A and B are shown apart, each in its own frame.
Chain A
Amino acid sequence: MTKPVAPDEGLTPARLAAKYGLSVSGARPSLVEYVRQLWGRRHFILAFSQAKLTAQYSQAKLGQLWQVATPLLNALVYFLIFGLILNAGKGMPKDVYIPFLVTGVFVFTFTQSSAMAGVRAISGNLGLVRALHFPRASLPISFALQQLQQLLASMIVMFAVVIGFGSYPKLSWLLVLPTLVLQFLFNTGLALIVARMGAKTPDLAQLMPFIMRTWMYASGVMFSIPIMLEEHPSWISDVLQWNPAAIYMDLMRFALIDGYGSENLPPHVWAVGLAWAVVLAVGGFVYFWKAEERYGRG
């Protein structure tokens, strides 16, 4: 091998790189380019989410049955404590309260597990981030998608419970679809945001269960917010009702449960649900992309 030949001699590395069209390795692509790369990885995102889902219960004897059994057992526990002992279902007959509770638990679990998986999406997959090249947003999106598939599988049980308590399939059940789309967008945005925060501060993963539990109790998973907070100033109940988790739970209950009419919903509920979804999804995506080149630092 000879020494570099004269014409390139004396060029600074940056000039030499420019001359031959070399780009900075590991630099953050533009937002448009990033979206394009991400779209190119859509098969990986889907395959990764399905693989995680399959791997999750592969050691358990009952296997995938746990996907359904886990939220159902959760709902049962809440029914014992809140339904029977604390009588949190006041203002609602039993055949409304039980589907109300089950729907709430399933829908909230969707957001909760997306956030919990999101916070570890980068910090828990550093091996992958440090070994292969792909848009890092693939990971949180993939985890949110995994939770969506999990919810879809457990929907069958949700439908069974609702029908079992006398709300039969009707046209309003179609509203489940837009509700799921909005909630999925919201969850993905949330997962992207906590993924960036969790990548910088892994301690957040320890804190997350407490934040999520507070959020759950504040969102009226097991009680009706306006009835429970009657004696308090009305702005408290307004704020709680407009929080995204409560909005999506209410939309789902309204779609499925006969005895849960529009009088239980806050005004402009669809607009608020849409706004939360768009703001979180777009904002979360941009926020995550801004740190793209920094993921994987030790």
Chain B
Amino acid sequence: MAEQQQGERVPTVIADELHIVYRVNGAKTGKGSATAALSRILKRGSDDAARGVRKVHAVRGVSFTAYRGEAIGLIGSNGSGKSTLLRAIAGLLPAERGRVYTDGQPSLLGVNAALMNDLTGERNVILGGLAMGMTREQIKERYQDIVDFSGINEKGDFITLPMRTYSSGMSARLRFSIAAAKDHDVLMIDEALATGDRKFQTRSEERIRELKKEAGTVFLVSHNNKSIRDTCNRVLWLERGELRMDGPTDEVLKEYEKFTGK
């Protein structure tokens, strides 16, 4: 990434009064009984709340502008809307109100959902790569790197076995290796990436640093204040879906640590 000139800050992601609402069917009474469902249908036409459709307002009016070359940490307690915000930036969750503008297509680091446990690791590498939008040639080129990086074949020829035969550590390693094989413009990393044994963790942290160098802007969700401090120069603090603080890492983390009583 070329050094940006002073004073020429190019925005890559702009969030403008963003609201995200989830709708959950039949969660009003907590009972999924047939009569409850029936009354829900009969009350059709009245508003959502009366029909037992519960709304979860996960992100409430968040605005910020991210610039090229920034590494932004997202912090906040569980359920504060961090992952939801990432998905909205990636354009995967439609906004209820407000907008997100992005430069190119931001991507979420993660490919788990495209993989199938009944297929061999080999076919999953190809399927996962295609799902992320890589071409067949790109996958062929990187196939060996992906397999080597995952270390799946260190204990015998496991890559030709179905993924359901892998240990949980092994499949987590393969999933990360596939996800990390692609370069991104705007990269978003959700927490809980540090899986696998000690050796693999070191290797994956290294790969994340590499990805960050190549990407224009990086978002990192983590509960680990140390890793935020190590990698981010700006932090957004979300609490109950609202942006509570936005600023340089040290300032925000100091307030956050005070808030969490650390």
Interface residues of A (CB under 8 A from B): 1, 4-5, 8, 13-14, 16-17, 20-27, 40-41, 43-44, 47-48, 51-52, 54-55, 58-59, 125, 127-134, 293-294, 296-298
Contact = CB atoms under 8 A, between A and B. Distances in A.
Interface of B: 7-16, 21-24, 56, 63, 65, 70, 87-95, 99-103, 105-108, 110-114, 116-119, 123, 126-127, 130-133, 135-136, 162, 233-234, 248
A5 B116 contact: no
Contacts of A43: 130, 135-136
Given A17-B11, A55-B119, A44 B131 contact: yes
Contacts of A1: 70, 233-234, 248
Contacts of A26: 88, 90-95, 100
Contacts of B100: 24-26
A40 B132 CA distance: 12
Question: Which 7 residue pairs are nearest across A and B when measured between Cβ atoms?
Answer: A26-B91, A298-B22, A17-B101, A13-B16, A127-B113, A25-B91, A55-B118
Interface centre among B9, B88, B101 (most CB of A within 10 A): B101
A55 B90 contact: no
Say whether chain B's binding surface is mostly helix, strand, loop, or mixed. Answer: mixed
A131 B101 contact: no
A273 to B, nearest CB: 33
A74 B41 CA distance: 36
A25 B88 contact: yes
A204 to B, nearest CB: 13
B210 to A, nearest CB: 21
A297 to B, nearest CB: 5
Nearest to B23: A298
Given A20-B11, A132-B132, A13 B93 contact: no
Given A22-B102, A22-B103, A55-B118, A131 B92 contact: yes
B7 A23 contact: no
Contacts of B116: 51-52, 55
A131 B111 contact: yes
A136 to B, nearest CB: 11
Given A16-B14, A55-B118, A59-B118, A130 B132 contact: no
